[in-house]
Structure 1
Amino acid sequence: MTVTELRTTPATPATPPPVLRTAATLWLAAVAFGALEAALMAVTMLYDGVQVTDLLPGMGFRVAVFAGATFLALRLRRGANWARWALAVTLGVFGTISLVKEPIEYVLAGGSIVEAMAGLDAVGWVFATSRVLHVLSVFGALTLMFQPRANAYFKA
């Protein structure tokens, strides 16, 4: 093998398998659902009289998370194994905890999901639907990122 061939031969196959591209798409969908949820929360809080300046730190944090998640998903789509692990740990573990913590605490405190759903207005239904789709997108992406075809791709 010549020096030129060594420099141009990738360590992994050039094209990531479809399962990784689909996982990346699901991560991007999760980002979109998260952005929708953040927008709904902000609009609701502003409607309730909260000042914009009070929302800025939380929204700034969310924008940073969304930007980081988008970057990682795009790197995953191109076949970066480090992005797979970063997504799995940061958003797959800690992000999921942040999404389900409040509803789980509500149920553990004796709250009823049926009663909570009965009290939702239109915005609440959009938010709840988005949150369910958000969590399903994350679980789907996590599952696909570690499918045997993805694992074989990274071992190549």
Structure 2
Amino acid sequence: MMPATFIPARRAAERPAAGPPPAVRAAFALWVTAVAAGAFETALMVGRDPAEGFGAGLVVRLVVFTAAVLVAVRMRCGAGWARITLAIGLGVLGTASLVVEPLGYLLDGGSLADALARVDALERVFAVSRTVHLAAVLTAVVLMFRPAANRYFREAA
């Protein structure tokens, strides 16, 4: 009979014995927070306009959310490729996808004051969630590259 603490050799070799430092654990929690915020925003969009909310866009979001959590788990275990994937895929490209529409509106001459004057309660809730979402992503990216995190990923390699 195997002891309760048995870890397969492949898994044990994939992560340093000490486990992830606080910066990596916090980054993981923030990636999960960002995914939760994105799921919440999706639910708000579907709730506002079910006909537009369902379909290929919803499927793509669910795939991205699932992949993000799975990659974040690998990052927490010390996989350097997962850290880079999260930083580029969600940190750069994901952030760009979140801010392109509002920036486009402003660059096209839209007024922030006019936009805020037309906002209803649901859009305010959405804006708060989007702010949490962006803050979680940007903070997670920074935390993944702190000195202790760099050492952790180097040791795990």
TM-score (norm 1): 0.86
Q: Does 1:10 align with 2:13?
A: yes
Aligned 8 A contact 2:46 2:52 in 1: no
In structure 1, which of residues 20, 24, 27 is the aligned counterpart of residue 28 of structure 2?
A: 24
Aligned 8 A contact 1:21 1:76 in 2: no
Q: Once the 2 structures are TM-superposed, how far is the Cα of residue 12 of structure 1 from its aligned partner?
A: 5.2
Q: Deviations over 1:113-154 (max 9, x none)?
A: 232122111110010111111111100000000111111112
Q: Sequence identity, in percent?
A: 47
Q: Unaligned 5+ residue runs, structure 1?
A: 1-6
Q: Unaligned 5+ residue runs, structure 2?
A: 1-8
Compared CA separation, residues 113 and 51, structure 1 to 2 (3 A): closer
Aligned 8 A contact 1:36 1:130 in 2: yes
- Aligned-residue RMSD, C-alpha: 1.8
| Partner residue, 1:147 | 146
Compared CA separation, residues 18 and 112, structure 1 to 2 (3 A): same
Compared CA separation, residues 11 and 31, structure 1 to 2 (3 A): closer
The SS at the match of 1:79 is coil
Distance in 1 between residues matched to 2:52 and 2:132, nearest whole Å: 29
| Partner residue, 1:57 | 56
Alignment of 1:6-155 (within 5 A): 10=13, 13-14=16-17, 15-46=19-50, 50=51, 55-155=54-154
